[in-house]
Amino acid sequence: MKYDDLFMHEIIEHSPDDARVLDLGCGKGSLDYSRFMRLNVFLLDTVDRMGSDASEKIRARFVRGDSCELPYRTDSFDICLCNFVLEHVPGPVEVVREVYRVLKPQGLFFVSIPNCGSIEDRIFRRLASDHCNQFTFKSFIELMYTHTGFKLVSFCNWPGGFNYLVGKYAKYQMPLFYALRIISRIFNRNLLTESNYLFLFRKEERAGLRFMNAACRICGSGHLLEDDGRNWSCPNCGAKNIAI
Ligand SMILES: [Zn+2]
Protein backbone atom coordinates (compact mmCIF):
# COMPACT_ATOMS: atom_id res chain seq x y z
CA MET A 1 0.00 0.00 0.00
CA LYS A 2 1.29 3.44 -0.87
CA TYR A 3 0.67 6.59 1.10
CA ASP A 4 0.46 10.23 0.17
CA ASP A 5 3.40 12.41 1.16
CA LEU A 6 3.11 13.88 4.63
CA PHE A 7 6.44 14.37 6.39
CA MET A 8 8.50 17.47 5.66
CA HIS A 9 11.41 15.58 4.10
CA GLU A 10 9.02 13.70 1.76
CA ILE A 11 7.31 16.90 0.63
CA ILE A 12 10.65 18.62 0.03
CA GLU A 13 12.34 15.62 -1.64
CA HIS A 14 9.44 15.24 -4.08
CA SER A 15 9.27 18.95 -4.95
CA PRO A 16 10.40 20.39 -8.30
CA ASP A 17 14.03 21.54 -8.61
CA ASP A 18 13.39 25.24 -8.27
CA ALA A 19 10.45 25.02 -5.85
CA ARG A 20 9.79 28.10 -3.74
CA VAL A 21 9.48 27.02 -0.11
CA LEU A 22 8.29 29.22 2.77
CA ASP A 23 9.32 28.13 6.28
CA LEU A 24 6.92 30.08 8.49
CA GLY A 25 8.02 30.59 12.10
CA CYS A 26 11.25 28.91 11.07
CA GLY A 27 13.14 29.10 14.40
CA LYS A 28 16.51 27.55 13.58
CA GLY A 29 15.06 26.09 10.37
CA SER A 30 12.46 23.33 10.16
CA LEU A 31 14.84 21.30 7.96
CA ASP A 32 18.56 21.20 7.19
CA TYR A 33 18.32 23.27 4.02
CA SER A 34 22.00 22.76 3.15
CA ARG A 35 20.81 19.37 1.81
CA PHE A 36 18.42 21.10 -0.59
CA MET A 37 20.46 23.78 -2.38
CA ARG A 38 18.25 23.34 -5.46
CA LEU A 39 15.32 25.03 -3.65
CA ASN A 40 14.42 28.69 -3.20
CA VAL A 41 13.89 28.87 0.56
CA PHE A 42 12.27 31.81 2.33
CA LEU A 43 12.44 31.92 6.12
CA LEU A 44 10.22 34.09 8.31
CA ASP A 45 10.10 34.50 12.08
CA THR A 46 9.70 37.24 14.65
CA VAL A 47 13.26 36.61 15.90
CA ASP A 48 16.35 35.62 13.88
CA ARG A 49 17.62 32.35 15.35
CA MET A 50 19.26 31.22 12.12
CA GLY A 51 22.68 32.78 12.85
CA SER A 52 24.43 35.39 10.75
CA ASP A 53 26.28 32.94 8.48
CA ALA A 54 23.15 30.88 7.69
CA SER A 55 22.44 32.56 4.36
CA GLU A 56 25.92 31.62 3.12
CA LYS A 57 25.53 27.91 3.98
CA ILE A 58 22.02 27.56 2.58
CA ARG A 59 20.21 29.07 -0.39
CA ALA A 60 17.73 30.95 1.75
CA ARG A 61 16.52 34.42 2.62
CA PHE A 62 15.50 35.27 6.17
CA VAL A 63 12.93 37.98 6.87
CA ARG A 64 11.88 39.15 10.31
CA GLY A 65 8.16 39.59 10.06
CA ASP A 66 4.57 39.02 11.14
CA SER A 67 2.95 35.83 9.86
CA CYS A 68 -0.46 37.59 9.92
CA GLU A 69 0.79 39.93 7.17
CA LEU A 70 3.23 38.07 4.95
CA PRO A 71 5.60 40.26 2.90
CA TYR A 72 5.21 38.06 -0.19
CA ARG A 73 3.25 38.16 -3.42
CA THR A 74 -0.03 36.30 -3.92
CA ASP A 75 0.28 32.84 -5.56
CA SER A 76 4.07 32.80 -5.22
CA PHE A 77 5.04 29.64 -3.24
CA ASP A 78 4.88 25.92 -4.00
CA ILE A 79 5.18 24.77 -0.39
CA CYS A 80 4.72 26.28 3.07
CA LEU A 81 6.01 24.58 6.22
CA CYS A 82 4.51 25.57 9.58
CA ASN A 83 6.11 23.29 12.13
CA PHE A 84 4.62 23.69 15.64
CA VAL A 85 3.94 27.39 15.08
CA LEU A 86 0.16 27.95 14.99
CA GLU A 87 -0.25 27.22 18.71
CA HIS A 88 2.06 30.21 19.37
CA VAL A 89 0.56 32.93 17.13
CA PRO A 90 -2.13 35.37 18.36
CA GLY A 91 -4.17 35.19 15.11
CA PRO A 92 -4.15 31.65 13.66
CA VAL A 93 -7.03 32.41 11.27
CA GLU A 94 -5.16 35.40 9.82
CA VAL A 95 -2.03 33.26 9.43
CA VAL A 96 -3.70 30.41 7.54
CA ARG A 97 -5.53 32.94 5.34
CA GLU A 98 -2.19 34.55 4.52
CA VAL A 99 -0.60 31.18 3.74
CA TYR A 100 -3.58 30.43 1.50
CA ARG A 101 -3.00 33.74 -0.29
CA VAL A 102 0.74 33.33 -0.91
CA LEU A 103 0.61 29.66 -2.01
CA LYS A 104 0.16 28.90 -5.70
CA PRO A 105 -3.01 26.99 -6.72
CA GLN A 106 -2.48 23.33 -5.68
CA GLY A 107 0.35 24.50 -3.38
CA LEU A 108 1.08 22.34 -0.35
CA PHE A 109 0.78 23.42 3.29
CA PHE A 110 2.44 21.28 5.98
CA VAL A 111 1.18 21.92 9.52
CA SER A 112 2.07 20.30 12.81
CA ILE A 113 0.22 21.18 16.03
CA PRO A 114 -0.16 19.74 19.53
CA ASN A 115 -3.50 18.16 20.47
CA CYS A 116 -4.68 20.22 23.46
CA GLY A 117 -6.68 17.28 24.82
CA SER A 118 -3.64 15.01 25.15
CA ILE A 119 -1.89 14.20 28.42
CA GLU A 120 1.43 15.34 26.95
CA ASP A 121 0.13 18.79 25.99
CA ARG A 122 -1.72 19.26 29.28
CA ILE A 123 1.53 18.62 31.18
CA PHE A 124 3.48 20.87 28.79
CA ARG A 125 1.03 23.74 29.37
CA ARG A 126 1.50 23.42 33.15
CA LEU A 127 5.29 23.65 32.77
CA ALA A 128 5.60 26.22 29.98
CA SER A 129 2.41 28.06 29.13
CA ASP A 130 3.55 29.74 25.90
CA HIS A 131 0.65 28.51 23.78
CA CYS A 132 -1.84 31.18 22.66
CA ASN A 133 -4.12 28.63 20.97
CA GLN A 134 -5.42 25.18 21.76
CA PHE A 135 -6.50 22.90 18.94
CA THR A 136 -8.16 19.52 18.68
CA PHE A 137 -8.26 17.56 15.42
CA LYS A 138 -11.87 18.65 14.82
CA SER A 139 -11.41 22.31 15.77
CA PHE A 140 -8.37 22.65 13.53
CA ILE A 141 -9.99 21.04 10.49
CA GLU A 142 -13.06 23.24 11.04
CA LEU A 143 -10.86 26.34 11.22
CA MET A 144 -9.08 25.43 7.96
CA TYR A 145 -12.24 24.42 6.09
CA THR A 146 -14.22 27.47 7.29
CA HIS A 147 -11.66 30.16 6.55
CA THR A 148 -9.71 28.81 3.57
CA GLY A 149 -9.98 26.50 0.59
CA PHE A 150 -7.29 24.17 1.93
CA LYS A 151 -8.22 20.48 1.62
CA LEU A 152 -6.64 17.72 3.65
CA VAL A 153 -4.35 15.43 1.62
CA SER A 154 -2.89 13.31 4.44
CA PHE A 155 -2.46 13.32 8.20
CA CYS A 156 -1.17 11.25 11.08
CA ASN A 157 -1.15 11.31 14.84
CA TRP A 158 2.17 11.67 16.60
CA PRO A 159 2.41 9.91 19.95
CA GLY A 160 3.83 11.68 23.00
CA GLY A 161 7.55 11.49 23.65
CA PHE A 162 7.90 14.00 26.52
CA ASN A 163 11.19 15.17 24.99
CA TYR A 164 10.62 18.59 26.59
CA LEU A 165 11.26 17.05 30.02
CA VAL A 166 14.92 18.05 30.21
CA GLY A 167 17.14 19.71 32.84
CA LYS A 168 15.45 19.77 36.24
CA TYR A 169 12.46 17.82 34.84
CA ALA A 170 14.50 15.02 33.26
CA LYS A 171 14.26 12.82 36.35
CA TYR A 172 10.45 12.71 36.01
CA GLN A 173 10.48 11.35 32.46
CA MET A 174 10.84 7.60 33.07
CA PRO A 175 8.57 7.49 36.16
CA LEU A 176 5.95 9.33 34.08
CA PHE A 177 6.21 6.73 31.30
CA TYR A 178 5.81 3.87 33.81
CA ALA A 179 2.79 5.59 35.42
CA LEU A 180 1.18 6.21 32.03
CA ARG A 181 1.80 2.62 30.98
CA ILE A 182 0.07 1.29 34.09
CA ILE A 183 -2.91 3.67 33.72
CA SER A 184 -3.15 2.91 29.97
CA ARG A 185 -3.29 -0.84 30.64
CA ILE A 186 -5.85 -0.54 33.43
CA PHE A 187 -8.19 1.57 31.30
CA ASN A 188 -7.26 -0.19 28.03
CA ARG A 189 -6.53 3.16 26.40
CA ASN A 190 -3.15 4.37 25.14
CA LEU A 191 -2.59 7.74 26.82
CA LEU A 192 0.36 8.59 24.60
CA THR A 193 -1.49 8.43 21.32
CA GLU A 194 -2.57 11.65 19.54
CA SER A 195 -0.28 14.03 21.42
CA ASN A 196 0.33 15.94 18.18
CA TYR A 197 -1.04 15.97 14.65
CA LEU A 198 0.70 16.32 11.30
CA PHE A 199 -1.35 17.55 8.35
CA LEU A 200 -0.71 18.12 4.68
CA PHE A 201 -3.23 20.43 2.97
CA ARG A 202 -3.53 21.41 -0.68
CA LYS A 203 -4.76 24.81 -1.86
CA GLU A 204 -8.05 24.37 -3.71
CA GLU A 205 -10.52 27.01 -4.87
CA ARG A 206 -13.37 26.80 -2.40
CA ALA A 207 -13.92 26.32 1.35
CA GLY A 208 -14.85 22.75 2.30
CA LEU A 209 -17.05 23.05 5.39
CA ARG A 210 -20.72 22.29 4.73
CA PHE A 211 -23.71 22.37 7.09
CA MET A 212 -26.84 20.40 7.94
CA ASN A 213 -29.19 21.35 10.72
CA ALA A 214 -31.95 18.74 10.42
CA ALA A 215 -32.49 15.06 9.56
CA CYS A 216 -35.80 13.48 8.52
CA ARG A 217 -37.48 11.20 11.12
CA ILE A 218 -38.76 8.86 8.36
CA CYS A 219 -36.16 8.60 5.58
CA GLY A 220 -33.15 9.88 7.55
CA SER A 221 -32.01 12.31 4.85
CA GLY A 222 -30.11 15.36 6.06
CA HIS A 223 -31.03 18.96 5.17
CA LEU A 224 -30.01 22.54 5.66
CA LEU A 225 -33.18 24.42 6.63
CA GLU A 226 -33.23 28.16 6.14
CA ASP A 227 -35.49 28.66 9.16
CA ASP A 228 -34.74 25.83 11.57
CA GLY A 229 -37.21 27.09 14.18
CA ARG A 230 -40.28 25.89 12.22
CA ASN A 231 -41.87 22.51 11.62
CA TRP A 232 -40.83 21.28 8.20
CA SER A 233 -41.73 18.82 5.44
CA CYS A 234 -38.95 16.57 4.18
CA PRO A 235 -37.86 17.62 0.64
CA ASN A 236 -36.96 13.97 -0.01
CA CYS A 237 -39.99 11.94 1.20
CA GLY A 238 -42.53 14.60 2.20
CA ALA A 239 -42.82 13.47 5.83
CA LYS A 240 -43.83 16.06 8.41
CA ASN A 241 -41.05 16.82 10.89
CA ILE A 242 -41.14 19.01 13.96
CA ALA A 243 -38.51 21.59 14.77
CA ILE A 244 -36.28 20.82 17.72
ZN1 LIG B 1 -37.68 12.16 4.58
CA of 209 to the centre of ligand 1 (A): 23
CA of 227 to the centre of ligand 1 (A): 17
Residues 180-224: tens digit of each pLDDT: 999 999 999 999 899 999 999 999 999 999 999 999 999 999 999
Residue 1 has pLDDT above 80, yes or no: no
What is the distance, to the nearest Å, from the Cα of residue 189 to the centroid of all Cα atoms in its chain?
A: 25
CA of 81 to the centre of ligand 1 (A): 45
CA of 213 to the centre of ligand 1 (A): 14
CA of 238 to the centre of ligand 1 (A): 6
Residues lining ligand 1 (ion), CB within 5 A? 216, 218-219, 234, 236-237, 239
pLDDT at 14: 94
- Would the pTM count as exceeding 0.75? yes
CA of 240 to the centre of ligand 1 (A): 8
pLDDT at 130: 78
pLDDT at 228: 78
Task: Please provide the DSSP assignment of 112-149 as one string.
Answer: EEEBTTSHHHHHHHHH----S--B-HHHHHHHHHHHS-
CA of 233 to the centre of ligand 1 (A): 8
User: What is the rounded CA–CA span in Å between residue 51 and residue 224?
Assistant: 54
Residues 56-77: tens digit of each pLDDT: 677 888 999 999 999 999 999 9
pLDDT at 129: 72
Contact between 103 and 11 (Cβ < 8 Å): no
CA of 141 to the centre of ligand 1 (A): 30
Long-range contacts of 165-172 (CB under 8 A, 24+ apart): 169/127
| C-alpha torsion sign, points 203, 23, 35, 162 | negative
User: What is the rounded CA–CA span in Å between residue 108 and residue 201?
Assistant: 6
Within a 10 A sphere around the Cβ of 77, how many other Cβ atoms? 24
Within a 10 A sphere around the Cβ of 204, how many other Cβ atoms? 14
Domain ranges of the chain: 8-159+194-210, 212-244
Report which of residues 220 and 49 the model is more confident about: 220
Q: Of 3.40.50.1220, 3.40.630.30, 3.40.50.150, 3.40.50.300, which CATH number belongs to 8-159+194-210?
A: 3.40.50.150
